Structure 1
């Protein structure tokens, strides 16, 4: 019940969950493969569904089976950026069914996970109070098929978006939200983009940005070029010499005085 209503008053948070899960698996692929240029996260709005796809490391059989279980995660909180940490379960808040197709690099199998969210929620609200394990066993399934060994991806379909989540079909509103809330690159037109990106990579070892393509348009952080050169403010855990860096921020003054 909490997942289907209370945790996501803004239904766009659900897309953010899946996007940041994709961001994490893309970065894992980058670490494993050594690839520097990661493929964009692809989002497509095709009523009645929303699709999110990445070419990250993908899932093997054990991970695909674990995906069925609510709340399970093997992520490292220090390296991953998942929003609320329960991204794979967030689809219950917006869709009648969640369909995930995935293949892990080096594994010649595609796994398809289906979560029947509508019937799962109806069953849990029936008053019978069935055990969670019973609900999951009844309303989720995993199947497999052959796949190219070199393929690696995760494709998510949020099938049949519910009426209270139709803001997800508002392309402009979703683009604006993702630009502001997801780890996308700076707009190439922002003249300080390269300098700031280089500084962040130098001082924040886990810094990364991945392009999102929504219905054919690449999304970037919405900064214009009406700014003076950037300033930087490192924050350390204490004033002691050699204290570890805990935050690194940047800011630009606006060409009109008094604005940042």
Structure 2
């Protein structure tokens, strides 16, 4: 006998498939799925030493059941691609890793039948195409099997040569499931971008310049041009408002947040859009 006891090894066989269901099924609605993948595109720009001029996240509707989100950020090499499929594990190389974190890549598990990620990292000679068969995984996610049995054989990657200077990531949600097909509706897609994603404020807003300066003063805030089918979508605000005001929210001398506001009697325009 020993006072320290005997160590028991913990393996992938000790983790049930149901864990993936608990982490992702029913948690991400259409808006949250889109936001997750767009945020990863934004992170890819932030990981670059210098953000390229005209940095944009492009969302395109390929057909009535398929959308794609593309950035020209730092991209992923094979090690990054391998890290991207990890579930709720931050990579050890977090300082230079700009791929998917935590549950990120799995956010679309219930959204589409197949997820495809095509990525090329700056300074490398290869691009990688990662495919995940979400429909096959989802079909067995509640079976009494371990998570390795659930996922193995349902993820694959392909490798091709490409120009060394290119860098990008393109995420394709292929064959959207019925509860997510509004993502392939241009009007609904623009509504989600305008209301929920880090797009730029409308240049026609009365206080547009003040708002841009306010955002620039925030050390961690980033917004980018977000395009839907090549048309930039902006965050809209009413124009019949009063002066632009900003405040710092503090507690016990510690700054917690900064806010801006401008009062008026109008609400955001919702014509042609669903409201939340």
| TM-score range normalised by the length of the shorter chain | 0.7 to 0.9
| Structure 1 equivalent of residue 227 of structure 2 | 213
1:60 equivalent in alignment to 2:77: yes
1:177 to 192, 195, 209: 192
Is 1:198 the counterpart of 2:218? The answer is no
Q: Name 2:53's counterpart in structure 1.
A: 37
Contact 1:253 1:259 in 2 (8 A): no
Q: 1:219 to 1:140 in 2, by over 3 A?
A: same
For residues 177 and 259 of structure 2, what CA distance do their matches in structure 1 show?
39
Asked if 1:250 is matched to 2:260, the reply is yes
> Hey, what does 1:18 align to over in structure 2?
37
Tell me the equivalent position of 2:202: 187
Q: Is the 8 A contact 1:229 1:252 kept in 2?
A: yes
What stretches of structure 1 of length at least 5 have no aligned partner?
A: none
Alignment of 1:61-210 (within 5 A): 61-74=78-91, 86-125=103-142, 127=143, 129-202=144-217, 204-210=218-224
Deviations 1:205-255 (A, max 9, x none): 11111111011221111113211221111122423xxx4x2200000022x
If the length of structure 2 is used for normalisation, what is the TM-score? 0.80
- Structure 2, unmatched stretches of 5+, are 1-20, 269-276
Secondary structure (helix, strand or coil) at the match of 2:262 reads: strand
Instruction: Verify: 1:6 aligned to 2:26, yes or no.
Output: yes
Check 1:121–1:201 CA distance in 2 against 1; reply closer, same or farther (3 A cut).
same
Instruction: Give the TM-score normalised by structure 1.
Output: 0.85
Aligned CA-pair RMSD: 2.5
Structure 2 CA distance for partners of 1:259 and 1:89, relative to 1, 3 Å: closer
Residues 69 and 136 in structure 1, CA contact (< 8 A), matched pair in contact too: no
- The answer (yes or no) to whether the contact 2:202–2:208 under 8 Å persists in 1 is yes
Asked if residue 226 in structure 1 is aligned to residue 240 in structure 2, the reply is yes
- Higher-Rg structure is 2
Q: Partners of 1:259 and 1:117 in 2: how far apart?
A: 40
Stretch moving more, 138-147 or 84-93: 84-93
Q: Which has the higher helix share?
A: 1
Q: Distance in 1 between matches of 2:34 and 2:239?
A: 29
Distance 1:165 1:2, change over 3 A: farther
CA distance in 1 between partners of 2:251 and 2:163 (Å): 48
Task: Output the CA distance in 1 between the equivalents of 2:110 and 2:88.
Answer: 14
Q: Distance in 2 between matches of 1:214 and 1:87?
A: 22
Would you say the 8 A contact 2:64–2:181 is kept in 1?
Answer: no
